[in-house]
Amino acid sequence: MTLVGVVGAGVMGAGVAQNLAQAGHDVALVDNTPQAVTKALSTIELNSRMSRLLGGPELDPDTILGRIKAGTDLALLADADLVIENITENWELKRGLYLEMDHTVQPDAVFVANTSAIPITRLASLTTRPRQFVGVHFMNPVPMKPAVELIPGHHTSPEALEKVRDLLTSMGKKAIPVNDACGFVSNRVLMLTVNEAAFLVHEGVADAETVDEVFRSCFGHPMGPLQTADLIGVDTILYSIEVLHEHFADSKYRPCPLLKQMTDAGLHGRKSGQGFYSYGAPAASSAAVDSGGSRPTAATR
């Protein structure tokens, strides 16, 4: 099977690595902190054990983990056929990573950016392989979500796009093609919704539970926008809306001050144990938290 590099061992990176291993691919999982690598492997093991209970396939954790080689050295990616990047939505961090990866990974490998908002063509310009650069916006939790946005950059070759599409098919994903633009389709709309919902809480119009109840009861959404923010990560929401604000220079993308305050305070949602809602201990597994147990209690604001 294909050797796929996964860079960034946070919630998304761990989910991508697990999904790839489930599909039978060998995975090289890299993060710049050993703690993140250890936590990701623990999360993957737990998710694999609980997969059947969560409505997924029955998985053998030892088999899944046996397909994943993890560490902090980018040299693990040297022989990868594709590399999927999942680090924080920060231009300078991504810039440094791609400049380094471009010299580390074999020249004919395809780079895949799992980015929330930054345009694919802009990221591809950091490398010497813009024809081998593709955007894929995975949804969280990755192993449980059946579809992704597939975004070619301006220079992406048909061969690179097809290679990534084949990989996604092997992972059980429906690839929805979207043209390259900041935020693509999903986050161009979702981030505005979450940001405005945060403003409602910030202004005292309603608390988080009430805002989400309107969306669940009136519109039939399975989750409200602030529950979704906690699942994605409040910090990730903030970084994405900041990218949209900078890119479009439009005041409608002005980040809610509450998102900044919560991010600074470490109230990042399920992964930290506290966001718009309280979850107790930090979530070991976003997939497990998403599907099991009672609904969390809304945080007091």
Q: For this structure, is 45 an active site residue?
A: no
Q: Which of 90, 149, 157, 213 does the annotation list as catalytic?
A: 149
Q: For this structure, is 187 an active site residue?
A: yes
Nearest by Cα to 191 from 122, 137, 274, 256: 256
Nearest by Cα to 116 from 100, 142, 136, 145: 136
Q: For this structure, is 137 an active site residue?
A: yes
Q: Per DSSP, which regions of 21-128 are E strands?
A: 26-30, 68-71, 82-85, 110-113
The CA radius of gyration of the chain, in Å to the nearest whole number, is: 19
Whole-number Å distance between alpha carbons of 69 and 28 = 5
CA distances from 31 to 85, 246, 272 (A): 10, 27, 19
Q: Which of 137, 240, 268, 272 does the annotation list as catalytic?
A: 137
Residue 82 burial (C-beta neighbours within 10 Å; 0-12, 13-18, 19+): buried
In terms of residues, how long is the chain? 301
Q: Which of 19, 51, 116, 195 does the annotation list as catalytic?
A: 116
Q: Which of 48, 86, 140, 187 does the annotation list as catalytic?
A: 187
Residue 53 burial (C-beta neighbours within 10 Å; 0-12, 13-18, 19+): exposed
Strand partners, 84: 6, 112
Residues in CB range of 261: below 8 A, 6 or more apart: none
Active site residues: 116, 137, 149, 187
